[in-house]
């Protein structure tokens, strides 16, 4: 997917990308590849692949949740890595107030410089573990309208990372590849325990490559119990509802 195809495909979803935004994506790509030579940010460096599997893929939540396009929302991106999905969303939808949480400082340093290069406002960066950032003593607990995560962990673990950060009435949006149905089934207990409710699971294929994708949206319907999230590392080792808990 070259840059013009990227622009055309988004227009099919009623998302118009301005020339200035196209330049921001070009700058993003160039800086990503340049930095990736000495900091491990992505295994995908081919331009057309980046536009498809990073930029376009990151924007797909807005195909299924129009509030991302128009509403003044606070969005927390958990484990954003090189800025996906929140930075592509922020480029297109300046109405979003973005907070990025990542456990590796080298990624945060990259993102800090990227945000400056792109001239983005309303972006906060935090070097922290998700379990700490949404913990019971954190000022950020249950404070966001939306929490997003892409390629971070399986659904039962992801729910424990993200739902504690979301306010009641807010939502969690997970960008998943294949096997989302199985992950959701395994995460039913975790989602309910953490105060969430599954609203939708939209399945589609990326253009060009036809790779399978899912956008899974959860509503936050009640407070997350103070026991969650558990200490760093525990959600991955013993997901809520697992037999070895």
CATH of domain 3-222: 3.40.50.150
How many residues does the structure list for the chain? Answer: 245
**φ, ψ for residue 173, nearest 5 deg:** -120, 115
Binding residues: 79, 84, 130-131, 150
| Whether pLDDT at 101 is above 90 | yes
As a whole number of angstroms, the distance between CA 55 and CA 57 comes to: 6
For 20, 145, 174, the CA distances from 73, given in Å and listed in that order, are 23, 6, 17
Residue 42 makes CB contacts below 8 A (sequence gap 6+) with 32, 36, 50, 54, 81, 82
**φ, ψ for residue 219, nearest 5 deg:** -90, 145
Among 20-34, 81-95, 143-157, name the one with the lowest average pLDDT: 143-157
pLDDT band at 243 (very low <50, low <70, confident <90, very high): low
pLDDT band at 241 (very low <50, low <70, confident <90, very high): confident
**Does the global pTM surpass 0.85?**
yes
The reported pLDDT for the residue numbered 178 is 74
Residue 176 makes CB contacts below 8 A (sequence gap 6+) with 155, 183, 213, 214, 215, 216
Binding residues for S-adenosyl-L-methionine: 79, 84, 130-131, 150
C-beta of residue 173 within 8 angstroms of C-beta of residue 148 = yes
pLDDT tens digit sequence for 186-208: 899 999 999 999 999 999 999 99
- Sketch the domain layout of the chain as residue ranges: 3-222
């Amino acid at each position: 997917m070259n840059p013009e195809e990227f622009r055309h495909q988004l227009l099919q979803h009623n998302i118009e990308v301005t020339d200035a935004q196209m330049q921001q994506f070009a700058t993003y790509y160039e800086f990503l590849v340049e930095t990736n030579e000495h900091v491990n940010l992505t295994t995908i460096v081919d331009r057309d692949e980046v536009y498809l599997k990073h930029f376009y893929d990151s924007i797909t939540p807005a195909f299924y949740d129009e509030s991302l396009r128009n509403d003044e929302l606070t969005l927390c991106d958990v484990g954003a890595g090189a800025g996906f999905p929140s930075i592509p969303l922020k480029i297109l939808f300046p109405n979003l107030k973005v907070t990025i949480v990542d456990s590796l400082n080298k990624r945060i340093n990259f993102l800090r410089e990227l945000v400056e290069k792109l001239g983005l406002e309303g972006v906060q960066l935090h070097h922290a573990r998700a379990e700490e950032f949404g913990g019971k003593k954190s000022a950020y607990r249950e404070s966001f309208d939306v929490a997003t995560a892409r390629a971070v962990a399986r659904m039962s673990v992801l729910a424990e990372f993200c739902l504690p950060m979301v306010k009641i009435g807010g939502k969690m949006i997970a960008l998943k590849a294949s096997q989302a149905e199985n992950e959701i089934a395994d995460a039913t207990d975790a989602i309910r325990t953490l105060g969430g409710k599954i609203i939708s699971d939209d399945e589609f294929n990326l253009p060009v490559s036809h790779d399978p994708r899912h956008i899974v949206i959860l509503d936050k319907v009640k407070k997350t119990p103070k026991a969650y999230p558990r200490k760093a590392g525990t959600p991955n080792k013993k997901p809520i509802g697992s037999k070895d808990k």
